[in-house]
């Protein structure tokens, strides 16, 4: 889930994600628009339905009112027969005429009186009718029946020509309605009837109201049947009826069905009036699918009519198009806004990620640089080699060179090249390399592809085929030392980045610093060696008088002995034994002189540091003579307190002797002018398991705290013509050996200088 969440977040952050987000918003907007539009359409439709409902209700009321008027007409007919039981044809005509049926009761196409005539009275009825102004009165259809329901009068005659004499009982619909009216005493309406005289008017119905014999009881069905005289029949053309009911210009269509079910069989009235063809009916019903329907029923004359109002649905789309258009526009706008916002955000994100990546890249590069340059145990050369390798990887170039340039001489100091074609120490002409430009530049020189540029005729390209190059000047002590450069024979596709140049600069700074330090160390080493030698010579010079005295002593003795012997031999007084003894003494003195010269030569020798395993007593024994000479000169007593069984040291004996002599001479200088005890004690002991300690103690005035604190500083001296380097050099010699030099007992009588030296066993053990 988490992964999904992350990937979703990632998706949303990307540019594609922004499009998706926009599309989602667009879809949502469109759905919302659609929904709103549907609501608007529904509202529009419901409005239309409500309108239809309103119109329909008005029409239904009008229809009911009109039907009620017809019923009233019938009731007046009934009343007529009650008032005047023997209504004549003429009377009926006048009556109907006075009703002004056509004007007052549109749709009422005929008002008839139908006589109920049992068969046995038929003849009499016929006679009476023929007598009553209708000589050609016949009953049709013919045939014998038990009873006849004969249309006796019908007015207006026009349009009802065939009706007179028609036996209505022969029509099942009329018969049912008449019987029902008879039995109930109320006007009953027929189903639709096919009126013979009006072949097109399927939409005609007849309303029958019973007429009973005046005065006859009509409380029960039997009484009513017995009292039946006939019926008032109102023939109603529904289409005409409707012409007055539906207001002109109304868009409401009305279909009327008998009963409460809409079907072709029960269709009484069609708004088109196209009742005559089946297709028309089908069409009219099929039309309902895109029409608003409002069915309602009315009950009249024992019949239920279903009035089905309909109206063509006026397209709601025009009204709601604004909703769709504005909704779509808003959605699109939202999409565009979101998309562009997302795009901007994605771009910012991408930029941020790019920058983060660049930062990480630079951090990694610098860390690598740091790791390469700070691995302590490796030599500088190895570090530079690693640096070159790292640079080749970093810059994507084959070869890395650290060069030293002097004039036109370009020497390879360190190199990493794939096939080893460039060797360390190789020398080239500066003009053959791009470095000639690098050295003239303050900034790194970056060449991604030389071919095709002004440089392509340069030897670097023309002869060596170098395409890509990155290099800069290595500065040492503010002077150009050479160059650090990387190159490749393949052009580089991507340009060098700012980071590349900065890393190159860092490398160069580090290398410059390292070279500078090495140069300074080398100079310091040379300086130190010179100083050491100079000091040794100085020490030697200081001791020269002593040495000369020492050498002159035996020489003097030799001269004396030789002359004495000569004199004795000349005088002839020489005894053989005596002469031999003198000659032996001469020989001994000669050897003494030779030894002195030998030691002196060893001491003066300026040699490399040669560490060897040597006993501390041997070191001191060799300089005992020197010490003794000096001590004699200043009447100083030297005490040796060398701990026996001291382990041998690993030291350069000459250097250590120099240190000891230096300290002793200092001690002598400190005490030689004083009147009190003049003694120097040389001690050797174990300091730790790994270090031996040598201490030189004098009985001089000691050192003040101020002097003691500075006595080891270079060029600090209390002597009138001292350099102030003796102790410094002694200290550096001791420290080079891995020991240390310090001074103690500053106050009170005497000062003691100590130094430690490594015990050979410990050194070997360590290694």
Partner 1 sequence: MTTEPVVFVVDDDPDVCESLSLLLKSVGLKTQTFANAHSFLDGYPPERAGCLVVDVRMPGMSGLELQQTLIQQDICLPVIVITAHGDVPMAIRAMKAGAIDFIEKPYSSQTLLEQVHKALTKDAEARRVQSQRKAVAARLALLTSREYEVLERAVAGQYNKVIAAELGISLPTVEARRKRIMEKLQAKSFADLVRILASHKANKGKP
Q: Does residue number 567 form part of the binding site for partner 1 (CB under 8 A)?
A: yes
Of residues 565, 650, 670, 680, which one binds partner 1 by CB under 8 A? 565
Nearer to partner 1 among residue 212 and residue 603 (C-beta) = 603
Element (H, E) at 24: helix 15-83
SS3 464: coil
Q: Which of 93, 186, 291, 549 binds partner 1 (CB under 8 A)?
A: 549
Residue 658 CB, nearest approach to partner 1 (Å):
22
DSSP 8-state assignment for residue 441: -
The residue range among 182-190, 197-205, 498-506, 582-590 that interacts with partner 1, by the rule CB under 8 A, is: 582-590
Mark the segment that binds partner 1 (CB under 8 A) among 108-116, 528-536, 565-573, 687-695.
565-573
Can residue 568 be called a binding residue for partner 1 (CB under 8 A)?
yes
Quick check: 564 binds partner 1 (CB under 8 A)? yes
Instruction: Choose the stretch contacting partner 1; rule: CB under 8 A; options: 215-223, 500-508, 555-563, 732-740.
Output: 555-563
Is residue 555 part of the contact set for partner 1 (CB under 8 A)? yes
Of 589, 582, 583, 411, whose CA–CA distance to 483 is shortest?
Answer: 411
Neighbours of 758 (CB within 10 A): 18
Under 8 Å between Cβ of 631 and 640: no
- CB-CB contact of 652 with 619 (8 Å): no
The phi-psi region of residue 270 (left if phi > 0; otherwise alpha if psi is between -120 and 50; otherwise beta) is: beta
Closer Cβ to partner 1, 444 or 546, answer by number:
546
Report strand pairing: 679-686 vs 637-642.
Answer: parallel
Residues 696-735 as x/- pattern, contact with partner 1 by CB under 8 A: ----------------------------------------
Q: Which of 210, 205, 207 is nearest to 186 (CA)?
A: 210
The yes or no reply on residue 557 touching partner 1 (CB under 8 A) is yes
Nearer to partner 1, 225 or 592 (CB): 592
594's CB contacts (< 8 A; 6+ apart) are none
Does the footprint of partner 1 cover residue 639 (CB under 8 A)?
no
To which residue do tokens 């690693």 refer?
A: 386
- Closest C-alpha among 670, 661, 666 to residue 626: 661
Which position among 128, 501, 533, 585 is part of the footprint of partner 1 (CB under 8 A)? 585
Comparing CB distances to partner 1, the nearer of 390 and 582 is: 582
The footprint of partner 1 on residues 52-111 (CB under 8 A) is none
Stretch that binds partner 1, among 180-188, 261-269, 304-312, 550-558 (CB under 8 A): 550-558
CA-CA distance, 739 to 523, in Å (whole number)?
23
- Full 3-state SS string of 579-634: HHHHHHHHHHHHHHHHHHHHHHHHHHCCCCCCCEEECHHHHHHHHHHHHHHHHHHC
Q: Considering only residues 316, 554, 702, 750, which one is a binding residue for partner 1 as defined by CB under 8 A?
A: 554
Tell the smallest beta-carbon distance from residue 622 to partner 1 (Å): 21
543: which residues sit within 8 A by CB, 6+ positions away?
626, 629, 630, 661, 665
Q: Answer yes or no whether residue 560 interacts with partner 1 by CB under 8 A.
A: yes
Chosen residue from 5, 248, 635, 645 binding partner 1 by CB under 8 A: 635
**Cβ-count burial 700-716 (b if 16+ within 10 Å, e if not):** bebbeeeebeebeeeee
By CB under 8 A, the residues from 448 to 477 that bind partner 1 are none
Interaction between residue 631 and partner 1 (CB under 8 A): yes
Instruction: Compute the least distance from the CB of residue 692 to partner 1, in Å.
Output: 31
The number of residues that bind partner 1 (CB under 8 A) is 33
Q: Where does this chain touch partner 1 (CB under 8 A) — which range of 274-282, 554-562, 618-626, 651-659?
A: 554-562
Tokens of 537: 């010579």
In the region spanning residues 506 to 545, those forming contacts with partner 1, defined by CB under 8 A, are 544-545
- Assign 401 to helix, strand or coil: strand
Q: Residue 352: what are its φ and ψ, rounded to 5°?
A: -60, -40
Residue 634 CB, shortest distance to partner 1, in Å, is: 8
Provide the edge-to-edge strand list for the sheet that holds 468-476. Answer: 427-429, 409-416, 399-406, 479-488, 468-476, 445-447
Contact flag: residue 552 with partner 1 (CB under 8 A): yes
Which span (127-135, 200-208, 417-425, 559-567) binds partner 1, by CB under 8 A?
A: 559-567
548 sits near partner 1 (criterion: CB under 8 A): yes
Contacts 24+ apart (CB under 8 A), 76-84: 77/111, 77/113, 77/209, 77/211, 77/232, 78/209, 78/210, 78/211, 78/232, 81/113, 81/211, 81/214, 81/229, 81/230, 81/232, 82/214
7 binds partner 1 (CB under 8 A): no
What does the per-residue mask of binding to partner 1 show for 586-605, with x meaning CB under 8 A? ---x--x-------------
Count helices and strands (H / E) in the chain: 20, 22
The nearer residue to partner 1, 526 or 591, going by C-beta atoms, is 591
Interface residue with partner 1, options 558, 600, 619, 703 (CB under 8 A)? 558
Residue 559 interacting with partner 1 (CB under 8 A)? yes
Kindly state whether residue 571 participates in binding partner 1, applying the rule CB under 8 A: yes
Nearest approach in angstroms of CB 560 to partner 1 is 3
Among 140, 633, 672, 746, binds partner 1 (CB under 8 A): 633
Q: Rule CB under 8 A: say whether 575 interacts with partner 1.
A: no
Nearer to partner 1, 397 or 596 (CB): 596
Q: Determine the Cα–Cα distance for residues 568 and 574; give it in Å rounded to an integer.
A: 5
Q: Which token pair is 317?
A: 């789309």
**Distance of alpha carbon 343 from alpha carbon 22, whole angstroms:** 10
Stretch of 160-168, 372-380, 414-422, 627-635 contacting partner 1, by CB under 8 A? 627-635
Q: Which runs of E-coded beta strand occur in 42-200?
A: 108-118, 147-155, 188-189
| Helix, strand, or coil (residue 422) | coil
Interface residues toward partner 1, by CB under 8 A: 544-546, 548-568, 571, 582, 585, 589, 592, 631-633, 635
């Amino acid at each position: 889930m988490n992964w999904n969440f992350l990937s979703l977040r990632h998706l949303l952050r990307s540019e594609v994600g922004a499009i998706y987000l926009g599309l989602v918003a667009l879809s949502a907007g469109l759905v919302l628009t659609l929904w709103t539009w549907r609501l608007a359409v529904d509202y529009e439709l419901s409005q239309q339905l409500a309108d239809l409902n309103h119109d329909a209700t008005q029409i239904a009321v009008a229809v009911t009112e009109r039907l009620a008027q017809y019923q009233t007409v019938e009731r007046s007919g009934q009343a007529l027969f009650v008032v005047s039981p023997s209504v004549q044809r003429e009377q009926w005509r006048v009556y109907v005429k006075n009703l002004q049926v056509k004007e007052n009761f549109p749709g009422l196409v005929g008002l008839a009186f139908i006589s109920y005539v049992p068969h046995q009275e038929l003849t009499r009825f016929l006679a009476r009718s023929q007598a009553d102004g209708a000589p050609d009165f016949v009953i049709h259809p013919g045939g014998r029946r038990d009873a006849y329901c004969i249309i006796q009068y019908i007015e207006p005659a026009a349009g009802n020509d065939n009706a007179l004499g028609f036996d209505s009982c022969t029509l099942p619909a009329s018969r049912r309605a008449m019987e029902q009216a008879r039995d109930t005493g109320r006007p009953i309406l027929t189903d639709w009837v096919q009126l013979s005289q009006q072949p097109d008017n399927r939409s005609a119905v007849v309303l029958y109201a019973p007429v009973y014999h005046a005065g006859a009881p009509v409380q029960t069905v039997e009484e009513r049947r017995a009292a039946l005289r006939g019926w008032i029949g109102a023939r109603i053309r529904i289409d005409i009826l409707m012409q007055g009911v539906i207001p002109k210009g109304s868009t409401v269509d009305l279909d009327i069905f008998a009963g409460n079910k809409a079907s072709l069989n029960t269709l009484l009235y069609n708004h088109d009036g196209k009742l005559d063809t089946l297709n028309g009916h089908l069409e009219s019903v099929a039309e309902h699918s895109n029409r608003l329907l409002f069915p309602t029923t009315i009950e009249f004359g024992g019949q239920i009519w279903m009035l089905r109002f309909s109206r063509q649905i006026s397209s709601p789309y025009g009204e709601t198009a604004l909703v769709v258009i504005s909704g779509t526009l808003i959605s699109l706008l939202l999409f565009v806004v979101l998309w562009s916002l997302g795009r901007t955000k994605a771009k910012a994100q991408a930029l941020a990620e790019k920058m983060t990546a660049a930062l990480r890249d630079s951090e990694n590069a610098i860390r690598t640089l740091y790791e390469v340059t700070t691995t302590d145990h490796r030599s500088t050369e190895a570090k530079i080699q690693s640096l070159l390798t790292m640079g080749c990887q970093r810059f994507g170039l084959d070869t890395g060179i650290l060069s030293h340039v002097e004039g036109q001489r370009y020497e390879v100091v360190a190199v990493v090249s794939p096939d080893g074609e460039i060797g360390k120490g190789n020398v080239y002409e500066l003009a053959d390399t791009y470095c000639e430009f690098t050295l003239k530049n303050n900034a790194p020189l970056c060449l991604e592809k030389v071919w095709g540029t002004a440089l392509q005729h340069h030897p670097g390209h023309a002869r060596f085929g170098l395409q890509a190059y990155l290099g800069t000047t290595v500065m040492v002590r503010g002077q150009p030392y050479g160059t650090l450069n990387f190159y490749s024979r393949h052009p580089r596709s991507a340009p060098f980045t700012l980071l590349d140049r900065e890393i190159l600069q860092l490398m160069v700074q580090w290398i410059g610093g390292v070279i500078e330090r090495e140069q300074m160390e080398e100079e310091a080493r040379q300086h130190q060696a010179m100083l050491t030698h100079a000091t040794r010579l100085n020490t030697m010079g200081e001791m020269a008088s002593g040495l000369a005295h020492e050498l002159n002593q035996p020489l003097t003795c030799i001269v004396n002995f030789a002359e004495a012997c000569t004199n004795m031999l000349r005088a002839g007084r020489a005894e053989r034994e005596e002469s031999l003894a003198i000659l032996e003494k001469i020989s001994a003195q000669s050897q003494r002189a030779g030894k002195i010269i030998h030691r002196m030569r060893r001491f003066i020798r300026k040699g490399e540091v040669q560490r060897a395993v040597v006993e501390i007593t041997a070191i001191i024994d060799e300089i005992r003579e020197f010490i003794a000479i000096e001590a004699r000169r200043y009447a100083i007593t030297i005490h040796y307190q060398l701990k026996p069984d001291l382990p041998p040291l690993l030291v350069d004996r000459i250097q250590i002797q120099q240190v000891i002599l230096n300290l002793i001479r200092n001690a002598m200088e400190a005490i030689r002018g004083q009147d009190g005890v003049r003694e120097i004690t040389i001690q050797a002991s174990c300091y730790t398991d790994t270090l031996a300690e040598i201490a030189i103690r004098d009985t001089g005035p000691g050192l003040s705290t101020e002097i003691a604190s500075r006595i080891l500083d270079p060029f600090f001296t209390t002597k009138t013509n001292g350099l102030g380097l003796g102790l410094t050099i002694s200290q550096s010699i001791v420290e080079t050996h891995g020991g240390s030099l310090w001074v103690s007992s500053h106050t009170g009588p005497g000062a003691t200088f100590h130094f430690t030296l490594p015990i050979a066993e410990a050194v070997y053990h360590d290694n």
